A and B are shown apart, each in its own frame.
Chain A
């Protein structure tokens, strides 16, 4: 390259930097760039890891000797509850989110995620929710009913304090970020890749994160629903779980574990994804069995939703169900075995090199296989009857989570750190750290299996001597401290390296995937131009690709109008089909999350008017947020580099926003189906049914609601079609608005007059909740229709730019379907199953 060209390239890169820059100072609060948000997630989750770790030290100190008086039962119960809650909800899940937010665009050859502001919003929700839990702990009112919060122990009668509310509200607040993440990552992996990256050329990490994100989309709604129901019971006495009034404590367990078991795989899969990226690098050959692994990931995703009952083998359920869930729990070992043998074969068929990450990966193999085998043991029902709720389970779950999550991520930390930090690895301290962690871990947990088999239950703050547990516990406590020293070593290594490590550049591990073509650390825009990829390991297969990226020979090399652009591709083939304009820094995510915090805090302190204000203002901010996205004029196709022209995303059918709404409705639909499950479950299983009275309102009212919302959905469909033909959607939008309002009013009348007070019986509570859910949706349909009307008047909608209308049509269609089903159930079931007490 001549010096003139080099200057031109330099100018180009400076323009890219300027377009993707985050403002300094307070402006950092407006950051939306995926690298920044990803690093914030990672750093915050590590802080929570340290806190969770310190809590575990207190637990081990208390259990070191029998009859210890170091902690009383009250502090101990708060500490073990917080240890589990922090590690699961505030460390593991957010760390995965952070890594995926940071790395996915880099693996996929993209410049950012599909909805950068959404992930910024998710971060603030996580931070505020986590801070709520932490502040409660320092105030001595942390949750104390165990991290799975079984009712009725966690209900108002047996946990009258604020402690349980802190859990329900804090964790739900954090879960908002998980939902945001799920939507963000599904849309990103499917749409925001570089040219030529078809699904079967996508790095396996992309597959792992896609399935993980889908599992979060489907897995978290049951927990959120359960938390809302329990909070309603605690706050207003709606007896969903109160057996005296038609509720059932087991409903909570079903909802919790419907989330809780997939959760384990949500944590494991991304870590396995990191393993699948490291193994080929260190074996110096492509992965063995790529399609097998993809099938195994998908299989894990499916099976993991079919085995939640193995946490409930001792609640007294029919033998047939036991056999089914026992078998499902064991069969999940098959996809895991496929992955292990694919990794093994990759190493065995390659030319493996020694490295620090490989050492940690051995720790992963040993620990996770051990945890998997004890998992198969626990899946066997008779054994489970003995081992359930003992220290055997404590040992098992730590082998699975530390083995399947912490060890691979320690390996990944050493693998990725040169890229993330720009500092080269140093081996010595990392090796010391490994041996301390590995030995400390096994010294804590390996023989804890025996402690459990000798009869020590979990969650006891003290035990008496003479049961054969004393020595075992003492060794565990000593091991725990060794383990802590090992982690301290890791953090020390991290600090030393960030401060004074040698600079790193290039591709230190000689890996084959795109992220290693980036600068160390990567620029805010990642790729100076987005490459056309022709294989799964472009850095191994495509000569000169790093130079081509750098010199702007890929897609979207130039900045125009100061826009942040990234390529959108066909979900399957990877053929470029649009230019996605990314939103710049904004305070809106922070403001929206803060308002959501006002809503949640109002609930926590039982100041419900504050909650109401927070919710309304948050809705207004949300509308403002929606208002400022999109384009106010039509654009022609634009040059995308490499000789092709592409339309802007707001002008194509297949825009990320549409996928976002579709995945959002998948979240919502899962929530709804879980709600129907709860409704039918109580009806069929709970003692205390039938209720004293059923719904009593004119059937015509229900028909009116159903008809009105159907008309609204139909009118929205007409407005999409009319708009496409160049007719103004004014009239159809007004019809949609008015009929959605009519449906809302009819549903509200039914709610107000037709149902007994929700606190009187679980039937009234669930029916009210179900119809309330519908009324909320019809109301939002009206709001959205009005919003679209204004948007159209201000020129944000045109025959080419129809995304707003199509997104609302999707919403309204969903609303119509769920409302009609709910009304049919609410009015049909009493006639079908009948029999008022």
Chain B
């Protein structure tokens, strides 16, 4: 469930962003604390002789602005690459209910498979998850694969994922949705190339769908 052990493209990119920003933040923290401790120390040497302008322009404008601009360039480019701009290889519907997820797959033959709390994806394929809700707002999140996106009644949000490592991962609802929020988990299986088609062909048409909201 960790964002720092990524198994998908977006999650990998974001994990890098996280490490870079954390390092920068620690550096800036250390700098500010050191400056403050020195400046407020009664026994330090002579008062600073720089002009007010110089300190304020340097510390108040140039320092934050340069950090922000660099960060924005990095972040916006990276964010752009995570959006579903090109056509996906595969689409899966994820429908939030209080308090479970329904996943809907359409096979190449047009057969529709519906499963509760069980998401299956092929590795190294661009997947669009079409996220909807039938009741309150939920949020679809598989930390190992990528960021989260809300399930909002009346809308369909599209989340682009691309798993890069086969395995089993955990997903969960990230937006508080009432009594069962803490238990609104689901299991993600990323299949080896080719294995996904076999799984889909063998999957029961309406696996474990619960309509009453009881825990599957």
Contact = CB atoms under 8 A, between A and B. Distances in A.
Interface stretch (B77-85, B101-109, B188-196, B202-210): B77-85
Contacts of A323: 72, 76
Given A327-B72, A358-B40, A381-B75, A457 B17 contact: no
Contact of B52 (A345, A352, A374, A376): A345
Contacts of A380: 17, 21, 71-72, 75, 79
Interface string B109-144: 000000000000000000000000001110101010
Contact of B71 (A376, A461, A686): A376
Q: For the side of the interface on A, what is the size category?
A: 35 or more
A754 B58 CA distance: 62
Contact of B28 (A150, A249, A369): A369
A152 B136 contact: yes
A386 B59 contact: no
Nearest to B154: A243
A249 B152 contact: yes
B60 A388 contact: no
Contact of B157 (A316, A347, A384, A460): A316
B148 A349 contact: no
Interface string A227-266: 0000000000000000110001110000000000000000
Interface hub of A315, A327, A387 (most chain B Cβ within 10 A):
A315
B18 A383 contact: yes
A376 B71 CA distance: 9
B85 to A, nearest CB: 9
A386 B176 contact: no
Contacts of B14: 382-383, 385-386
A793 interface: no
B130 to A, nearest CB: 11
B4 A345 contact: no
A384 B75 CA distance: 11
B68 A333 contact: yes
Q: For the side of the interface on B, what is the size category?
A: 35 or more
B215 interface: no
Interface string A148-174: 001011000010000000000000000
A714 interface: no
Interface hub of A152, A337, A339, A350 (most chain B Cβ within 10 A):
A337
B63 to A, nearest CB: 6
B55 A344 contact: yes
B40 A347 contact: yes
Contacts of A292: 52, 56, 60
Nearest to B183: A462
A294 interface: no
A382 B48 contact: no
Interface in A369-423: 369-370, 373-374, 376-377, 380-390
A298 B32 CA distance: 24
A77 interface: yes
Contacts of B22: 377
A316 B135 CA distance: 17
B33 A347 contact: no
Nearest to A364: B36
B149 interface: yes
Nearest to A687: B154
B179 interface: yes
17 contacts: A153-B177, A319-B80, A338-B56, A338-B61, A340-B32, A344-B59, A345-B52, A350-B47, A370-B25, A370-B29, A377-B22, A381-B75, A385-B10, A385-B148, A387-B3, A388-B147, A455-B2
The 6 closest A-B pairs by CB, nearest first: A385-B147, A243-B154, A455-B1, A338-B60, A341-B59, A316-B157
